[in-house]
Each structure stands twice: as structure tokens, then as C-alpha cells.
Structure 1
């Protein structure tokens, strides 16, 4: 599964799953640019990006096109995660999660689409979550955003597949990242007990799924799909 010579923009790529995807893509031969609210100082060049700001997204994609010379692969991996029961959840908490985890996917995908359709080839891969399929107590806002990202993926895929742009999603199970480390011990223990593998994943176990979807011919037949590297948490 090589992507030699492809140009990849990994949004949310300075940590967790995004960073693992960026590394995996680079190892497979791609030129990688990372975009994140926290510009990285690591292996890959990076640019600042707030996915909730429409103008910031437009500016960042323009810069990415200049620096990369084009965008062949977009990975939407920016996300936020916290906990609150619906009865206690503030509108601000709900809106922030929707803005980052769903609206951000729309804004960045929309910004790269004209360039991908013009060149007749592109891959858009969004990191969703198995909670967008099954839900979770104390995470209704997160589950709703991720379910929306999955539905958005299907709809966009139908719009642009014949233009050569393949749009798919990944719905990982719980993964050991900076976002999940602060979840309550009770939630982590309950979730671990539910998993057939009996453990959370690590980011490097999720990244190869993104590589499959990005690769040619490996990803050529995936259109509007949601792949599930989730430790058995959801069995569609």
C-alpha cells in the first residue's frame, strides 16, 4: 500500500491518530503537511489551522496548496472530546463539539474539493468514531457529531465519486490518546470491559486503515464506507 508521490494534508495531525497517520503516510512515500491549532515541531512541516473558522480554513488550504503543489489526500482528524450528561450539558459545550468534530469536517472538505475534482483524483478520509454508530452515556454531543460525520461522508461520496474523488471514514474504537486519557476512570473501565479485545487501541493500529483508503489500488473500491478498527466494539 504505497502512496509514493502523493501530497497529503493531515488536519489535526500533531498528536494521537492524526500524528500516526502522518507518519504512516510519510513512510509510504507521501509528502505530508500537517495542519493543527497547535503547529507541531516534530517530523512533518505544519501550518496553524482552526477548523471552526471559515476564513482560517480557506487560508490554510490555500497555503497547503502552495506548499505541497496540490492536495491529493485529505485526512480530517481534528477533534475534541469531553464528558457531560445531557441534563447537565451546556449549549457552549454542545456547540464546541459540533463545531470542531462536524462543521470542521465540512469546511475543510469543501475547501479542498475544487482542487481534487479539477485534477480528477482525490481521497478524503475522516476520522469518526464507533460512538457515532452506537452512542454512549455522557457523550451525546460527541456521538452526534461523529454520526453526522459518517452521514456527511456518505452524502459527499455520492456527489463526487464520478469526479475521481473517493470519500470515506474511519470509526475507531477507544484509542489511547491525549483526548481519552482524561476520561473518567469509571467510563474507561466500563468501556474496556465491553471490548472483545479487552483493551484500548493505540494510534499506530488505526493509521494503516487510513493508508488502505488512501492507496491505489487498495482504496479504489471504497466509496462512502466507514471502516471499523474498533477492538470489536461495533460489529456492523
Structure 2
């Protein structure tokens, strides 16, 4: 029987690439999305992957959404916490609402989703959770105290939850992407983007498929001895 995977923020960008990589491994994939129903419908039409709508920052919605996926596709074996937003600004200008929205979605969403699927994974003695962090959660970034705090929190969350799942066959890992050629990065002004690329030793932006391949390994049977780790995929921009 095929493994069932949920990928949050799964209908575009890195999330879409992850959905395709897991599908190509033979998994049955559910792509979660929050808002753009037209984009989700187009994604499903193009890929054959079903899309399910709920807001990962809403604890009750995550419980209900994961239950719907399990009833529709089967018990959830794999969770990829990819959903994330930005609300950039220096702390002098950053509103509490902008802080809260990013923390609640990017970090709170990891808790809400893991809370919904972790008991089932433990009960079946097998599970894979991969949380998408960020280079900016490792190194910080000017004007992103909310985003950097949330992504840094994901890395700590990963290490702690990994200890809870290890003896039950549930691995929990993180991937920290660098700057990837997605719509989010495309919105960065050209002159700023040039400076970013100039600081990447390999001399280019990453591709979403490069992140997806890392996720695929961590979600595989062969990845069972890797837990509590953060895999940095950033072209050498940040090494530690």
C-alpha cells in the first residue's frame, strides 16, 4: 500500500516540487493550500495530486484537514511542513500583527500539523516529518526578525520532536534552503537579488527540485537512520 504524504503549501514553488518528488516515489500525496483556489485547481489538473484547503495557523482546521486526508486517502505516513509567509520590516516598523502572522503560520503551523499526525505515526511505528526552515533562520536577515525567529524555531522544534519519535520509528528532520528561484525570491528587487547571488559561492540561485530531492531522501525508507538533523541546501552561502 502506498505511503500517504501531506505537503503544506504544496501547490506552488518548493511545495509543488516536493509534491511531485514524493508522487514520483510512489506515494499518494495531498497538497495543502490556504487561499488561491484557482491555482490549486490548476495544480491538481496538471499533476493529478489532490489539493485540500485549510489554514495551517488554525489548530482546529489542521485537525479537521488531516482527518479529511486520512479518511480520503488513508492514514498519514509523511508530513512536510513547507507552508510559510513573509511580512518583512525592521522592528521599528514591524507591527505586532505582522509578527504574529508569520510566527503563527511558519512556526505555529509546524506544531499544529505535527500535533494532528504524530499520534498516528507513533501508533503505526513509522513516520517521516520534514520541516522546511531557512538559511535566514540560521544566519539571520536584516528586516526579517519575525521570519528569522520562526525559521530558527523550526530548527529547534525539529531536534526536540525527533527525540520523541525516534524509538517509535518516526524521524523528524529539517531542510534549510538558501535562496531558491521561486515567486517569493522573484519579488526581490533586481539590484538586491544581484547582490544576493554574488554572495552564493556556486554563483546561482537554487532550484525547487534541489530542495525536493533532499526531502525525498529524508522521507524514504533509506532515510530511517537520519533524525534530528538540519540539511542545509544553500549553494555554500552559509556554512557552520
- The partner residue of 2:162 within 157, 163, 167 is 157
1:231 and 2:235 are equivalent in the alignment: yes
Deviations 1:21-59 (A, max 9, x none): 000111111111111113512221011010111111111
Alignment of 1:58-137 (within 5 A): 58-137=63-142
1:16 and 2:13 are equivalent in the alignment: yes
Deviations 1:68-103 (A, max 9, x none): 211111000000124211211111111111111100
Does the CA contact (< 8 Å) of 1:80 and 1:179 recur in 2?
no
1:142 and 2:147 are equivalent in the alignment: yes
Does the CA contact (< 8 Å) of 2:87 and 2:99 recur in 1?
no
What TM-score do you get using the length of structure 2 for normalisation?
0.93
* More helix, by proportion: 2
Q: Moved runs in structure 1, 4+ residues, more than 6 A?
A: none
What TM-score do you get using the length of structure 1 for normalisation?
0.95
Q: Which residue of 1 aligns with 2:3?
A: 6
CA-atom RMSD, angstroms? Answer: 1.3
Distance of 1:208 and 1:28 partners within structure 2: 11
Distance of 1:182 and 1:84 partners within structure 2: 15
- The partner residue of 2:214 within 209, 213, 219 is 209
Between the two proteins, the alignment pairs up a number of residues equal to: 232
